[in-house]
Structure 1
Amino acid sequence: MRKQQKKQVSEQISTLYEACCELPKHSEQTFIDLCAEIQEFVSGIFNFVESTAGEGTVTADLLGQLYEMLFKATQYEATTEQLIDLVKKIDESLYDLKIDKIEIAFFCYKASMSDCLASIYFAAKEDQHCEAYFIPIPYFDRTGDGSIGDMHLEAEGCYSDKFDLTDWRTYNIEEHLPDVVFFMAPYDQHNFVTSVHPDFYSKRLKQYCGLLCYSPYFVSNENADFVKSGNESLCATTGALYADYIFVQSEKVKKAWINAINKVEYENNSKGAFGDLKNKILALGSPKFDAVLDTRNEIYPRVEEWVKLINGRKVVFYNTTVSEFLRGGEQYVKKIHSVIETFKNQNDVVLLWRPHPLMEQTCDSMRPDLAAEWREIVAEYKHEADVSNNEKLEKKSNFIFDDTSLFHQAIAMSDIYFGDLSSSLVTLYQATGKPIMIQNIGDATLPIATESIYADEKSFWFSAYHYNSLFRVNRETWKVEWLGTFPDEDFYKNRLYPSVAECNGKLYFAPLSAKEIAEYDLEKKIFRKIKFDLSDDSIHAAYDAAKFLRVVSINQYVFFIPYFHPAILIYNTETDLLSACTDWVDLIERKRTDKDIGYFIDYEIHGTKLVLPCACASVVLVFDSETHTTEAYEMPGNKTGIQLSSVCTNGETFYFTMADGTILIRELLSQTEEIKKIDKLPINHGNIAFYPIKYYDNKVWIFPLFAEKALILDIKTDTVSVLEEFSDEIKYDSENFILFASLINDCFYIITGGSYQFLEYNPKTNQKHEKVLTISKEDENKIRKLASKELLQRMESREADDRIYEDGMFSLPVVLDCIYNTDSYKINKQITAANTNAGESIYYYVKKLVLP
C-alpha cells in the first residue's frame, strides 16, 4: 500500500464514521436505505484495501464485519452504537497497514529538457517498491498577442527506449493521487513563449499529490551573475511557490535561490509566501549533470550519421540561446551569419550547431520581425548540413544541425563549446573538462588601448591595457608600431604595466599585475627587468596582482607609486640602486577605511614634491623627492569605501576629487588651513566617479571613470557644467567611461573605456578628433600568433571553471587554429560542483519522506 492510498482510506473511514453517526436521525425506511448505501461504500473500501495492502489484513477483516453488521442493523440485531464502535476499531487498525509502495509521476513537456528529471525517474523505475510514471505532456505556442497557439506533444520517438512512457490522456491524476509529483515547467500561465496544458499547471498538480517536487530545467554557473543578482525571474516562479521541495545543484546556488525569492517577497510585501526556504530548497545536485556524465547515454541513428561526417575531425559545439537572441536582436542574427561563414572556410573543423529548441517559437511570439530571416538561416544551414546527401559527404561537409531531443551526444562528441554564456549547457559542458569559449556578438577587433602614455616630439609610447605589448604611435601618421613584449610575463593579462615615465633615455613601467619593473632603452630598443622585494606582510601578500599603479620621474630618480605594495620605490637611474620609502605606511593603515582598497590612484608633481591623494584613508601624502620623506595632511572623508581618487593644481591651490564626486580644495600649506568643499557633482555612480582631473585655463577638467558625464569646474565662479563632447561614450556597455586622459601641448589626449577610441580634444576650440590607430598586418599577425600560443596553453592546462571569452585577441579563427593544430587536450576534470548521483540522491530522499 502507498502512503497516499492509506491517506485515502483514512479519509473514507472518516466519512464512514460521519455516515454511521447520522443513522439514528432518520426514519425506519430511510435508515434501511442508508445502511444499504453504506454497505456499498464499505464494499468499495474493502476491495481497495485488499488490492493495495493484500489479503488478510485486520482492516479488511473488520470491514467485512462491518458489512455484515450493517445488514443486522436493518434487522434490529445490531445498534448504531455497535456500528460506530466497529468503525472506530477499523480506524485504529489503519495504523497496522504497512506502507511499502510509492507512486511517483514525472511530467515533462520538452524531451530536450527531460534530463532534469531522467536520472530521478531511472532511480525510481529500478526500485521494486516504486510505481514510476513518466508522462510527456502537451504544450502550446504563445502567439504574438500572448494567446494560445498550436498544441505540441513530444512523446513516442522523442525519447530513448529506457523511458516507459505513459499517455497523458490515460493517467488520471485525480484517481491515481500519486505520492510524489516531479515537474520541470514552473511558469504555469506566465510563460510568454509556450504554455504547458493547464491541467498540468503546478497549482493544479499540488491538489492531487502528496508531495510536489520541482527539479529545475536549468543549472547555474556558480561563478557568474546568477549567484549574485538578477535571477528573480528564474527562481521566484509559480512552480516554486507551490512546490513542497526544490532540488538545486549546490549550496551556493541554494543561497542564490533564497536571496532571489526573499527579494521578491520583500518587494511584494509577502514575506514567507514561498514557505520555509532553508528546508524547502535542497542542494542534492542536478540530474542534468548525471545526464552529461552518465555512460548510459545511447547512440541514436542520427548520431551514427554524424560520426561518418566527422570522420576524425575536430568538432565545435555551437550553442545559441533564446535570452541572448532577444537581447541582441539583429546583431545576434548577424553574428550567426558570421560564424557560419567562418566555418565555410574551415573544412578541417566541424560546426555542430544546436539552436535552442524554442528559438523558432520565440521568434514568432516575441521577434516576428526576425522570424523570416531566422527560418532562412536555418533552412540554408540544414541544406548545407544534409548528411544524407552522398555528394555532400564526398565534399567533406562540415556542418551538423542538431535538432534532436537530447543534447548530450553533442556534448560528448564535440571538442570545444562555443556560444552564449547565459545557458545551462555552459555549466554542464564545464563538467566534461573540455574548453569553453563564450561568443561576443559585438566588435571583436584587436583592441589597442592604454592607461598612460609618454609623449616625445614624434611619438606616443605606451604599454597595452589588455595584453603584454609595447607600442609606439607616430604623432603625424597615427600608425602603430608593435615593439615587442615585456620579457618573462604572461601574454594575455590585463594591466601588466598601467603607467610609464621617461628618465635619461629610458622608459620605466610600473608593474601592477606584472612580476617586475620593466625598462625599455629608447636608443638600443631593448627590454630589461628590475626585480624588487615583494611584501611578506599578510595584509599585502594577497594583493600581489596589484602592486604599483603609477610611475613618475624627477631628476635622476624614478618613483613607483604603490597601489597595494607597502612602499614607495625609488630607483636611481645613475647608480642603478633601488630603495624604498615606508615612513607613511603605519599611519595610512591606522586610518584605513577599507581593506580591499589600495593606497594611491593618482599623483600631482609640485616642484620637487609628489602630492598623493590616498584612496583607502582620508589623507593626502606629500612626498619629498629630494629627502625621500613624507608628510601627511588630514582630509574630510567617508567612514567606509574609497576616499580620494584624483588631484590637480594650478600651482598654488590643489583640487581633489572624492570617490562620490565631492571636490575638496586646499593649498597644503598647513594642517589647520581651511578646506573648501563643493558638494557631490551630478552623477549616478558612486564608485570612483571621476578620474583623472586636470587643470587648464582657470578650469578643472573632470573626466569620468565610472560616472557618465565629463564636467568642467570654473574655479572663479565654482560653477560646474557638462562637457558634452564626450557624451557619446555612454552608448557603449563598459565599466570604464574613459581609461586615460592627459594634457599634452594644450590638447587633451583621451582613450575611452567602451569604444577604445583615441581622442584628441582642443579645449580652446572645443574640437574633438578621433584618431584611428592602425597596425600593420604583419604586426597584427605576430600578436595573434602569441595569442594562439597562449590560448593553446590555457586550453591544455585549464581548470574546469575557466572560460575563454571571444574578443579581438582570442577571436574565433584563432580558436579554430588552436583546435586544428593540437592532437588532444590535457583535460583537467574538476566536477566538484556536480553530484553525479543526483538522481538517486533526490529519489531516495523523497522516498524516505513517504516511506519513513
Structure 2
Amino acid sequence: MMDRGIQRELIKALLQLNEMLRGIDFSDGVQRQTVVEILEAVNKRCKMDFTAPKAAAYAESLSGLAQIIGQTDWLNLQAEEKHECRNLCQEIIQIVIGKLRQESEIKKDIVFLPYKASMWDSLESVWRAASEDREHCNTYVIPIPYADRNEDGTVAAWHCEADMFPDDVPVLDWHEYTLEKLKAWQPDAIFIHNPYDDHNAVTSVDGQYYSSKLKTATAHLYYIPYYSTSGGMSENQKSCPAYENVEAIFVQAECLRGFFDESVRDKVQPLGSPKFDKVIHLCQNPPEPPAGWREKMKGRKVYFYNTSLQGMLADVDAFVQKMMYVFKTFEGRQDACILWRPHPLMMATLKSIRSEAVAKYEAARDYFITHDIGIYDDTPMIETAIAWSDVYIGDSGTSVTSLFGVAGKPIFVLDNQIHELPGPDDWLGKAFNGVQSMDEDWIITWNNCLFHSPNHDHHYEFYCRLAEDQDGAYYQYVHPVDDKLYICPAGIPEVLVIRNKKIIKRIKLREDESRHGLFARSVMLQNKIFMIPLRYSAIVCLDVSDDSVTYIEGTKDIVSILLGDFWFVGGSCVWQDKLVVSAASSAKQFIITPETLAVETIDLAPDRISGFSGLIPEDDKIWLLPIQGQEIWCWDPRKGNVKKYVGFPDGFTCEHPGMHFECDLMPLGSVAFANDTVYITPNWGNKFLKLDRASGKISEWKNDFKPSPQAANGYLYTWAIGWFFWQGWDQITTRLPKFMYAPTRTLYQVDWQREQWEKVPVSFDDDSKERMAIGFDRMSKWFLYGCIENAFNSLKDLLDGNIHGKAFDKERQLKAYESIAVNNDGTAGEKIYAYTRKQLGI
C-alpha cells in the first residue's frame, strides 16, 4: 500500500522530469546525471512504498530507464536517434504516471480504526463488504491503542488488542499509521466506533486518533455506534464529540434519530447495525465451542448471563449481591449451564470510578471461578457466546438484549435489587409501583392496567387496560371528570380519555425527545389539568371542557434538572385557585392563573442555586421542602414574606438510595398538619421530623417506622420512605391523612389526637393479581419483547420452566424486533458500504 500523499508526490516528480526531458542535451553528462538521480530517487521511493506486484513493475521500468540514460554513449547518436530515445524515455515515464493515476482514481482506500477487539463487530460486516469489492476498494484494519484511566483522569495502562482480532482479519501495525502518516496518505474514508474523544472517564483512545484530528486525514469520516439498542438510547449518547466531526452516523433504525441532538440529526443514516449482521450469521452457523466448554454445555440449556456497566453504576452494592444470588441459583443444577460474560470494560470502570467496590466484585468473580459454577467467558467476541447460548439473563439497559432479540432467543431481564425468592405479599411492589394518583380510588399498576376501588375501601378490581405494552411507566395519574376519566402520562406523550371501561379518545401531545420519564406529575385545577414536566420541554395544560392543549414554554431545565444520573423536579401545588410550580435549580416560583394561563415569576432568593421538591399549601401559606439543604420554608405569597426554619436534629443526614453516598439532597418527603405541630416525613433523610409552630424548633419525631427507603427486599424497592396523601388539595388541612409506608407498601390511617396509626387493608382479587403475572410479552417501546424478573416470575421459575403468564413465542419476538432494526436480515454492512461507495463516487 502506498501512502496517498507520496503517490501524488511521485506523479508530480515524474511530470517535472518529463518536462526536463523535452529540452535535455543527452551529450551533457551533468544533465544526464541529474535525470538519472531523479529516476533513482523515484525508483527507490516506489520500492519502499509500493507493495502490489504491478507497482513493483513500475519501479523496475524506472530503474531500467535510469540505466539506459546513464550508460548509453549518447555522443555517437544522430539527432534523429536522440529524438527517438527522448520520446522513449518520456513514453516510459508517461506509462508509469498513467498507472499511478489509474490506481489513485479507481481503487479507493478505506481505513477501519477499531480499538477494542470485542467491539470489532460494529465495523466487521462493513469491512467484509468493502474488502470483497476488490475491483474498486482497498481496505485496511488498524487497531489503535487505548488507555484505561484512573479516577483523576490520568493514564492507568495502555493497550493495543491487535493480536485479539479474528484470524481472517488482516491487521496492520498502528505505529506505521500515525496521524501524520494518515494525513499524508489521505485515505478516501475512515470508519470509527468511538465517539467520545477525550470525554470518557474510563478509557480513551490515543489522542492522535480523536475525531477532531482524524477529520484532517480524510475527506469522509464515518461513525458506527459500538452498541446496539432495543429501541431507546442512553442520554449520554445524545451529543458526543465525534458527531460534529463525522460526515455520517450510521444507526440501526429511523426511530433512533430523535435521540440525537437536533444539530446532528441530518447526519444520521438509519441503515442497520453490523452487530446484528454478525450475530445473525453466527447463530445460523455456530462454530464449535472451546473443548473445555463443550462438556459443561452438554445436555444442558445454556443461559447467557450479562452484567452491564449501566447495571453496575446504578447501584454497585446491589449489583454484586445480585451476582452472588445468580451464581447460587445455578450452583449444583444439572439441567442448566450459566455462561457469564462480564462487560469487557467492567474492571476498568470499577477501578476508575467505583474503586471502593473492586474487592467486592473480585470476590464474587473468584467465587464463580473457584466453585466452577459455569463458563467464564472473557473471549473478545460476544457473538460466538450468543450463538452457543439458548437464553439471555441479565440487565435490560444493554445492547446485548437487542442481539438476542434479532437472534430470536428468549430474553429474561433480571432486577439487580432482587436477591432472594419472593414472599407471599411481595407482589404489592408491582401493584403500588409509585404515587399513581392523589385519588385513592384508582391505581395504575406496573403493567399499564387501571384498577378501581368502587366501595372506596382499597379493595381493587380490574377496570381496563391502558396500553397493550406491559411495562414502561406510560401513565401515572387519574383525574375523574363527570362520567369520564382522564389518564395523564408519565412516559408517553398522550392523555387517555376513558368512559365505561373503554378508551374513547387519545389526546396526542406534541412529540418531544423520545425518552421515557417525560412527566413528573399532573394537577387538576378547575377545568384544567396541568402536567408538570420531568424531561418534557414544557408544562402542558389540558382544558377538559374541549380537550384543547396549551403549552407553557420557558420552563425547560428550570422546573426539572439533571444532576449526575438523577433527575430532580420542583414541587407543585394548588394555592388560592392558582397553580404554583417551583424551580429545581433556584428559588423561583411560577404562579399560573388557570383562566388566562398567565405566568407570574417570583424569585424568593435570587442567590439560591437549588429549588424545592415539595410545595404543601396550608390556608394562605405554602410550605416549601428543599431539594438540597437542611431548612424548611413557609411562604406567604400574599404578603411576600418567607419564614425559614433551620436547626435539624443532630445526626440528620441523607443517603443517595442508589449510589449509597452521604449527601444533602432530597432530605424531606411530605408534610401533615396537626394543631400546633407540623409532621414531616424524610425522603433521603435519616430521621422523621416535627416542627413546633410556637417555638419554631425542629426535633426528631419518634414513631414505629424505619427512617430509610431500604425495603425488606428488592421486590418492594423504593426511593422514598413514604408519603401522606388526601382525597384532594382542598382537604389537606381539613381531613386526617393516610400514610403509605413505601418500604412495605403498607397503608395507614393517621389519627393525630389519639396518636394512632391504623393499618388499612389493601387487597386485589385473584383475577386482578393474575393480570400482573405477564410472562413473555411486549413490555414497552424500549423493551420490545421478553420477560421481567419479579414476584410473579423468579429466576428459579425460569430455570424450572415454570413461567407464569404467556410462554415464549419466537415468531412474536422476531416480528417485534423488526421495528428497531432495518436490514435485520444480515445485510446492514452491505447497505452501509453501498452508501459509502456512492459518497466516494465509485
Global fold match (TM > 0.5): yes
Looking at structure 1, the residues matched to 398 and 16 of structure 2 have their Cα atoms a distance apart, in angstroms, of 56
Identity of aligned residues (%): 23
Matching residue within 246, 263, 274 for 1:287: 274
The counterpart of 1:249, out of the listed 248, 252, 255, is 252
Equivalent AA in structure 2 for residue 547 of structure 1: I
Distance 1:714 1:757, change over 3 A: farther
285 and 499 in structure 1: CA distance in 2 versus 1, 3 angstrom threshold: closer
Q: Can you list the C-alpha shifts for 1:754-803, whole angstroms capped at 9, x where unaligned?
A: 996757678999x9x98877879xx8998765533x224558x9997246
Residue by residue over 1:99-154, the C-alpha shift from the partner in whole angstroms, topping out at 9 and shown as x without a partner, is 55455444433332121122123223434435544455554443455444445454
Q: Are 2:118 and 1:118 equivalent residues in the alignment?
A: no
- Which SS does the other structure have where 2:578 is aligned? strand
Indicate how the Cα distance of structure 1 residues 678 and 799 shifts in structure 2: closer, same or farther if over 3 A, else same.
closer
- CA-atom RMSD in angstroms: 6.4
1:834 to 818, 822, 827: 822
Alignment counterpart, residue 341 of structure 2, candidates 351, 354, 366: 354
Indicate if the aligned counterparts of 1:464 and 1:495 stay in contact, CA closer than 8 A: no
Distance 1:810 1:471, change over 3 A: farther
Q: How does 1:62-81 map to 2 (within 5 A)?
A: none
Amino acid across the alignment from 2:836: V
Partner in structure 1 of residue 713 of structure 2: none
Given that residues 451 and 463 in structure 2 are in contact (C-alpha distance below 8 angstroms), is that contact kept between their aligned partners in structure 1? no
Q: Higher mean Cα deviation, 837-846 or 752-761?
A: 752-761
For 2:784, the equivalent position in structure 1 comes to 801
Q: Give yes or no for contact 1:180–1:210 (8 Å, CA) kept in 2.
A: yes
Of 462, 466, 476, the residue aligned with 1:486 is 462
Q: What letter is aligned with 1:363?
A: L
Structure with greater Cα Rg = 1
Distance 1:64 1:400 in 2: 63
CA contact 2:191–2:224 (8 Å) conserved in 1:
yes
Give me the whole-angstrom Cα distance separating, in 1, the residues matched to 2:551 and 2:298. 67
Tell me the amino acid that sits aligned with residue 225 of structure 2: P
Please report how far the alpha carbon of residue 561 of structure 1 lies from its aligned counterpart in structure 2 after TM superposition: 14
2:699 corresponds to which residue? none
Report if the CA contact (8 A) 1:430-1:800 is conserved.
no
**682 and 72 in structure 1: CA distance in 2 versus 1, 3 angstrom threshold:** farther
Please say if 1:10 is aligned against 2:8: yes
Task: Provide the rounded CA distance (Å) in 1 between the counterparts of 2:590 and 2:284.
Answer: 62
Residues 1:142 and 2:158 aligned together: no
Change (3 A) 1:218 1:88: same
Which 10-residue stretch deviates more, 365-374 or 182-191? 182-191
* Native 8 Å contact 1:543 1:564 kept in 2: no
The within-5 A match list for 1:293-312 is 293-295=280-282, 299=286, 301-302=288-289, 306=293, 308-310=295-297
Say which SS state the counterpart of residue 318 (structure 1) adopts: strand
Match of 2:340, SS state, is: strand
Amino acid of the residue matched to residue 111 of structure 1?
Answer: A
2:370 aligns to what? 383
Match of residue 683 from structure 2: 729
Partner of 2:307: 320
Per-residue Cα deviation, 1:582-621 (whole angstroms, up to 9, x for no partner)? xxxxxxx9xx9999999x97679xxxxxx64565999999
SS of the residue corresponding to residue 319 of structure 1 reads strand
Q: Distance in 2 between matches of 1:198 and 1:187?
A: 11
Kindly state the Cα deviation for residue 546 of structure 1 after the two structures are TM-superposed. Answer: 3.6
> What amino acid maps onto 1:236 in structure 2?
P
For the structure 1 residues 615 and 842, does the alpha-carbon distance in structure 2 shift closer, same or farther, using more than 3 Å as the test? closer
Bigger drift between 440-449 and 54-63 goes to 54-63
CA distance in 2, matches of 1:593, 1:331: 37
Distance 1:47 1:705, change over 3 A: closer
2:717 is the alignment partner of 1:741? no
Find the aligned partners of 2:287 and 2:616 in 1 and give their Cα distance.
64
CA distance in 2, matches of 1:495, 1:55: 64
Contact 2:123 2:224 in 1 (8 A): yes
Deviation at 1:287, TM superposition (A): 0.8
2:377 is aligned with 1:402: yes
Matches within 5 A, 1:88-99: 93=98, 97=102, 99=105
Specify which of 556, 578, 588 is matched with residue 656 of structure 1. 578
Deviates more, 1:466-475 or 1:711-720: 466-475
Letter in 2 for 1:834: V
1:236 match:
241
**Superimposed CA distance per residue, residues 294-352 of structure 1 (whole angstroms, 9 cap, x where no aligned partner):** 24776455466656545565554332222442342333323333443454597755543
- Which of residues 498, 504, 507 is equivalent to 1:547? 498
Q: Distance in 1 between matches of 2:335 and 2:67?
A: 80
**SS of the counterpart of 1:216?**
coil
Judged with a 3 Å threshold, the aligned counterparts in structure 2 of structure 1 residues 727 and 41 are, in CA distance, closer, same or farther, namely farther
Which amino acid letter does the alignment assign opposite residue 825 of structure 1?
D
Contact preservation (8 Å) 1:710, 1:727? no
Q: What is the count of residue pairs matched by the alignment?
A: 696
In 2, Cα distance between equivalents of 1:303 and 1:192: 35
1:729 Cα offset (Å): 2.7
- Contact 1:757/1:771 (<8 A) preserved: no
Gaps of 5+ in 2: 420-425, 513-517, 532-539, 557-570, 583-588, 645-670, 672-677, 686-708, 710-717
Q: 1:35 to 1:646 in 2, by over 3 A?
A: closer
Q: CA, structure 1 residues 328+63, in 2 after alignment: closer, same or farther (shift >3 Å)?
A: same
Within 5 Å, give how 1:152-301 maps onto structure 2. Answer: 152-154=159-161, 158-164=164-170, 180-187=189-196, 191-196=200-205, 212-222=221-231, 224-226=232-234, 229-232=235-238, 235-237=240-242, 243=246, 245-254=248-257, 256-257=259-260, 259=262, 278=266, 282-295=269-282, 299=286, 301=288
Distance in 1 between the 2:476 and 2:204 partners?
A: 54
Query: Match for residue 825 of structure 1?
Result: 809
1:368 matched to 2:358? The reply is no
Once the 2 structures are TM-superposed, how far is the Cα of residue 655 of structure 1 from its aligned partner?
2.9
| 1:94 to 1:356, Cα distance in 2 relative to 1, 3 A | same
Distance 1:618 1:152 in 2: 55
Q: Tell me the TM-score normalised to structure 2 length.
A: 0.62
